[in-house]
Amino acid sequence: MPTVKFNHLDLAKIQSRFGIKYSKDLLNNIGNIGCSVEENDEEEIEIEIFPDRADLLSPGTLAYATRTFIHNQKSTPSLDIKPSGIALDVDESLKNVRPVIFAAVVKGVNTGDNDEEINEFIQTIMDHQEKLHFSLGKRRSKASIGVHDLAELNADFKVITVDGEFEFIPLAMNNKMKIHDILSKHPKGVDYAHLLSGMKNYPLIIDQNNSVLSFPPIINGNHTTVKNSTKDFFIDVTGWDPRACECCLLLVCLELAARGGTIESVEINDCNNQKIVTPNGDSITHKLTERLLESMLGKKFNDVELSNAINKMGGNFLRKTEAPEHSLEKATKMSDVILGDKIIEIEMPRWRFDILHPIDLVEEIAIGHGYEDLGSDVPKTPLPGAQLSSSNFTRRVTNCLQGLGLQQITSLTLSNEKDQFQHVRWNEKEIATILANPITVDHTLLRTNLLPGLLRLLSANKHNELPQRVYELGHVVRNHSNETHASWLIASPSGGFAEGRGMLQAIMRDMALDKFGVNYELKEIKENHGPWLKGRGAEIIVSGIKIGEMGEIDPYVSKNFELSVPIHGAELFLDKLRELVQDPVH
């Protein structure tokens, strides 16, 4: 979850614009709105924002949301937007390059009373921009934002495409650079060049003088940089996801408007030759059935309670209406409207990207009303619990591993290619489920084996005494399907293949294979397959089916995890073993 830090003086100035008497103590009460206060001292407040609440990532947008939640002000889910008279023409060549392009103007922003405050404001705008790039923009792939000094521009504007030989001066540079050089040498170009991979032409936003405002989604032009004298702003948002682009534009505008700015619209002739006006500040009307609300929260709400709850969350309760005559007779999903339903209509701000389904409105009402006053209920149908056969089996395996003196650990389901494949020599990349938008290079895929996570754990605990005996039992993902594995590792100067084989024999005895006449054998593993030392690794075969691997860890593999002690272990495929093993109790 993103963490943001706000200066108390900055928040005080913004909230005073809304007619709020600022109090840092009141901010401790905003937890339910979609964030949690981590620190709140005399200098700043540090808040952890929930991933779905991108509208709380800056001082201005946070103040806008909290003024209704903790100060009970009247909500204004729509923005007052005036026409700017500025136009932006998009060339049709953008259809296959970066087709979604929105823009806005914000004038008369109070950026601060001295250089220190102005510099803090500029840093806040930059931080807000990058947080939106990360959250709504999915690392600029769905949306990227450009914020410019309007005084340095000559409207109107155009969006065109150029080849890689085109030159301009990018942000923070003094000399012209070719597009190709920006993508291969400029720090931002190197970071985001993959977003334009395979393209022969590249998007540019230019003004009447053919000066470059922006090379989205990479870098702005140098001459439009926001500086201490900037009071009027031009904002562009480009990308592939219209909803993400719209919310990014509105949230940047809202932040500037919270500082006294006036939002003005831009008339856009898009790449499909359709005229649109952005930003659209009108609220969005959502609907949910009274039946869904009451079934989820166990309480009947009157109109006053609904109005108060939704107002706290920044929206307005509009009305209740009867379901239309053509409604369904029976619901198949919770969002369905059936005959006899009462429909609750609610308007919410257009920038609330997290409102996706009627159940989200139920949550908004619950938060706004307060969880402490929702009443209580008991289950209408008693359903006694019963053990799953799979759970019974994993419990048996767990008891066995713990009986062998192993300590259970739980590691992250997310891993990376180096740990799962390269470092341990399991060349099975084709079975991995790759994350489309990983947060870090350490978490790029869902793990396919447990043993690499145990090696990483031993690496983090190499300063502790030996022996170290650990195991994990949990889910892995192979070919986009969940599987259950168990793995153990023992780091000990005296351990080896013989000890590992003895542990496997104990497990198989506890599984009662001999009772049912099931045989198992060890088959030597081929060289450089998996983390095993040559001649000291084996496949575990039960009734002709491979149910795992075991052996001594090759020192070459151990070195990849910065380990130098002898280690042995195993990786068991429990789903396959469970199919072959009968429960001795039944």
Give the model confidence (pLDDT) of 286-307 as tens digits: 999 999 999 899 889 999 999 9
Mean pLDDT of 367-379: 83
- Give the Cα separation of 139 and 250 in Å (integer): 18
The rounded percent of the chain whose pLDDT value lies above 70 is: 98
Which secondary-structure segment (H or E) carries 159? strand 157-162
Of the pLDDT bands very low, low, confident and very high (cuts 50, 70, 90), residue 144 is: very high
Question: In the structure, what pLDDT confidence band is assigned to residue 22 with cuts at 50, 70 and 90?
Answer: confident
Better pLDDT: 23 or 280 = 280
Lowest mean pLDDT among 117-121, 311-315, 526-530: 526-530
For residue 294, the domain's CATH number is 3.30.56.10
Average pLDDT over residues 222-248: 95
**pLDDT band for position 361 (cuts 50, 70, 90):** very high
Tens digits of residue pLDDT in 490-521: 999 887 888 989 998 888 888 777 665 567 78
CATH code (residue 12): 3.30.56
- For range 31-47, the mean pLDDT: 83
Let me know whether 396 and 356 are in one domain. Answer: no
- Predicted pLDDT of residue 441: 81
Report the greatest alpha carbon distance in the chain. 87
**Residue 549 near residue 489 (C-beta atoms within 8 A):** no
**pLDDT score of 235:** 98
Q: Is residue 76 part of a domain?
A: no
DSSP codes, 451-515: HHHHHHHHHHTTTSPSPEEEEEEEEEEETTEEEEEEEEEEE-TT--HHHHHHHHHHHHHHTTTGG
- Asked which of 13-27, 34-48, 394-408, 509-523 is least confident by mean pLDDT, the reply is 509-523
| Shared-domain flag, residues 568 and 449 | yes
- The whole-chain average pLDDT of the chain stands at 90
Question: How many angstroms from the chain centroid is the CA of residue 201?
Answer: 30
8-22, 415-429, 546-560, range with the lowest pLDDT: 8-22
Q: Calculate helix-pair angle for 115-134, 242-257, nearest 10 degrees.
A: 160
What are the structure tokens assigned to 352, written together? Answer: 């609330």
Backbone CA torsion sign across 432, 435, 441, 446? negative
Q: Please list, residue by residue across 387-396, b when 16 or more beta carbons sit within 10 angstroms of its beta carbon and e when fewer do.
A: eeeeeebbeb
On whether both 505 and 363 belong to a single domain, the answer is no
**Distance linking the first and last C-alpha atoms of the chain:** 47
Q: Does the structure show a pLDDT above 60 at 199?
A: yes
- What is the average per-residue pLDDT within 119-139? 93
Burial readout 155-193 (b: 16 or more C-beta within 10 A, e: otherwise): eebbbbbbebebebebbeeeeebebeebbeebebbeebe
Considering only residues 377 and 89, tell me which one the structure prediction assigns the higher pLDDT. Answer: 89
Q: Is residue 378 part of a domain?
A: no
Section 578-585 average pLDDT: 71
pLDDT for position 485: 95
CB 266 within 8 A of CB 187: no
Residue 52: pLDDT band by 50, 70, 90 thresholds?
confident
Residue 31: pLDDT band (50, 70, 90) is confident
Domain end, chosen from 336, 371, 406, is at 371
Q: Which of 278, 312, 327 represents a domain boundary (last residue)?
A: 278
In-domain check, residue 586: no
Q: Does one domain contain both 260 and 296?
A: no
Residue 313 has pLDDT above 90, yes or no: yes
| pLDDT for residue 489 | 95
What is the amino acid identity at position 215? F
Residue 380 in any domain: the answer is no
Mark whether 551 and 438 lie in a shared domain. Answer: yes
User: Are 467 and 570 in a shared domain?
Assistant: yes
Report residue 55's pLDDT band, with 50, 70 and 90 as the boundaries. very high
Asked if pLDDT for residue 386 goes beyond 80, the answer is no
Q: How many domains does the chain have?
A: 4
Rounded to the nearest 10 degrees, the angle between the axes of helix 358-369 and helix 303-312 is 90
The reported pTM is 0.72
Residues 218 and 249 in one domain: yes
Look at residue 126 and tell me if it is in a domain: yes
For 62-89, write each residue's pLDDT tens digit.
Answer: 989 989 998 889 999 999 999 999 999 9
Structural domain that includes position 30: 3-69
Model confidence band, residue 457 (pLDDT cutoffs 50, 70, 90): very high
| pLDDT of 44 | 85
Residue 119 lies in a domain: yes
Model pLDDT, residue 37: 84
Q: Are 27 and 37 in contact (CB under 8 A)?
A: yes
Determine the pLDDT at residue 388: 74
Residues 326 and 447 in one domain: no
Question: What's residue 585's pLDDT?
Answer: 55
The answer to whether the Cα torsion of 49, 51, 54, 57 is positive or negative is: positive
Grade residue 464 by pLDDT with cuts at 50, 70 and 90. Answer: confident
pLDDT at 530 over 70: yes
> CA dist 4 to 38, 139, 386, 440, Å?
10, 18, 45, 19
Instruction: Phi first, then psi: give them for residue 190, nearest 5 degrees.
Output: -65, -40
Q: Are 473 and 485 in contact (CB under 8 A)?
A: yes
Q: In this structure, is residue 473 part of a structural domain?
A: yes
Same domain, 109 and 197: yes
> Do both 179 and 97 map to the same domain?
yes
Six token digits for residue 322: 């009867």
Give the pLDDT score at 118: 93
Q: Decide: 158 and 206 in contact? Cβ < 8 Å.
A: yes
Give me the pLDDT at residue 20, please: 80
Q: Ranked by mean pLDDT, which of 23-32, 461-470, 481-490 comes out on top?
A: 481-490
